[in-house]
């Protein structure tokens, strides 16, 4: 069990590679300027991908609605068990670097005694602070979203963006069927150049509709365009926002703890966190209460 009050718990996504990419960002970005990397614990289960395959496709969500309903309980139960494992391992904040898993964020979060960051919230808040101006007079700032049918139907990003006053623009059915899906099929055939060209067209279709930025909310299309492609300046990787928000939470919690100790609001001995022992039936509860004390004392 980890004992730092700014420990991050990470629920691995359907794709192990997307989890590793998120971890790379978390490690590098939090340890820049010779700082220590934020403490974290990861739970990555390959069994999860067996419950997700029909949902991670770009093909029609509606046509597989029955299968979605069939898997719902299994998926949520699986993710809830991972959340509980991370809590018991000492995590004081939970994140999920997976677009699709966020469809059930509220259910997974139910009963959770610690913060559980939502990728949609992280993106919406960052965009809100960017002071974007609408490209069409008299309208709100428009943000495009490219994602799987399952992610779009679940409203993972739409609701959070709309709550911040943005107008969300989604690809129409013609774009999905004639551009996006063929792009993924080309990628599966290892036709990288063909997939890239189709993705460029899909982004351009949204840009023509006067969107300021396009959110690339899919592991399939992440990293498809080369780093020097000018279109990337108009695109957002939501996991970047999640990683930055995670680091801010960990750093601010650590800073708050140090300030509390220096100002003697709480004696340092109160932060000797309890570890599993025969004398402590449920050490994780005491650990979470200590984290709450830190934040309350610094208000």
Nearest to 180 by CA among 151, 157, 139, 154: 151
Domains and CATH numbers, the chain: 8-117+240-253 (3.40.50.1860), 122-236 (3.40.50.1860)
Mean residue pLDDT of the chain comes to: 83
Side-by-side strand order, sheet with 8-11: 40-43, 8-11, 93-95
- What is the per-residue pLDDT for 280? 37
**Confidence grade of residue 275 (pLDDT, cut at 50, 70, 90):** very low
Residue predicted with more confidence, 46 or 210:
210
The tens digit of pLDDT for each residue in 18-65 reads 899 999 999 999 998 788 899 999 998 877 666 665 444 454 444 444
Vertex 9, ends 6 and 15: CA angle to 5°? 145
At 164-182, the pLDDT tens digits run 999 999 999 999 999 998 9
More confident residue, 46 or 86: 86
Q: Pick from 249, 219, 244, 257: which is nearest to 28 by CA?
A: 244
Crossing angle of helices 238-262 and 283-297, in 10° steps, is 80
| Cα 148 to Cα 181: distance, rounded to the nearest angstrom | 9
Please say if the pLDDT value at position 73 is more than 60: yes
User: Band of the pLDDT at 163, cuts 50, 70, 90?
Assistant: very high
Ramachandran assignment for 75, one of left (phi > 0), alpha (psi -120 to 50 degrees), beta (any other): alpha
Reported pTM: 0.83
pLDDT at 162 over 60: yes
pLDDT at position 26 is 96
Q: Over 90: is that where the pLDDT of 133 sits? A: yes
Residues making up the chain, counted from first to last: 299
- Give me the percent of the chain exceeding a pLDDT of 70: 79
Of residues 122 and 289, more confidence is placed in 122
Residue with the two structure tokens 């991670």: 56
Does position 121 have pLDDT exceeding 70, yes or no? yes
- Do 167 and 110 form a contact (C-beta atoms < 8 A)? no
Alpha-carbon span 235 to 146, nearest angstrom: 10
């Amino acid at each position: 069990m980890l004992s730092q009050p700014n420990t991050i718990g990470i629920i691995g996504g359907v794709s192990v590679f997307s989890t590793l990419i998120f971890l790379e960002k978390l490690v590098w970005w939090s340890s820049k300027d010779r700082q220590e990397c934020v403490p974290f614990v990861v739970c990555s289960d390959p069994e999860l991908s067996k419950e997700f395959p029909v949902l991670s496709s770009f093909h029609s969500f509606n046509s597989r609605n029955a299968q979605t309903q069939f898997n719902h309980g299994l998926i949520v139960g699986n993710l809830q068990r991972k959340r509980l494992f991370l809590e018991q391992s000492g995590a004081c904040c939970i994140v999920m670097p997976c677009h699709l898993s966020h469809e059930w964020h509220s259910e997974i979060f139910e009963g959770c005694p610690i913060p559980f960051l939502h990728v949609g919230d992280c993106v919406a808040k960052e965009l809100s602070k960017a002071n974007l101006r609408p490209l069409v007079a008299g309208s709100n700032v428009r943000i495009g979203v490219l994602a799987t049918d399952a992610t779009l139907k679940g409203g993972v990003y739409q609701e959070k963006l709309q709550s911040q006053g943005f107008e969300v623009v989604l690809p129409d059915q013609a774009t999905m069927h004639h551009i996006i899906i063929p792009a993924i099929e080309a990628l599966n055939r290892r036709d990288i150049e063909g997939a890239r060209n189709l993705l460029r067209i899909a982004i351009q279709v949204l840009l023509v509709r006067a969107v300021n930025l396009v959110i690339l909310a899919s592991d399939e299309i992440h990293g498809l365009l080369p780093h020097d492609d000018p279109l990337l300046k108009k695109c957002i990787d939501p996991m970047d926002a999640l990683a930055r928000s995670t680091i801010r939470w960990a750093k601010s919690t650590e800073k708050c703890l140090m300030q509390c100790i220096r100002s003697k609001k709480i004696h340092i001995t109160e932060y000797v966190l309890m570890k599993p022992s025969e004398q402590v039936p449920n050490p994780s509860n005491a650990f979470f209460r200590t984290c709450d004390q830190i934040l309350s004392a610094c208000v």
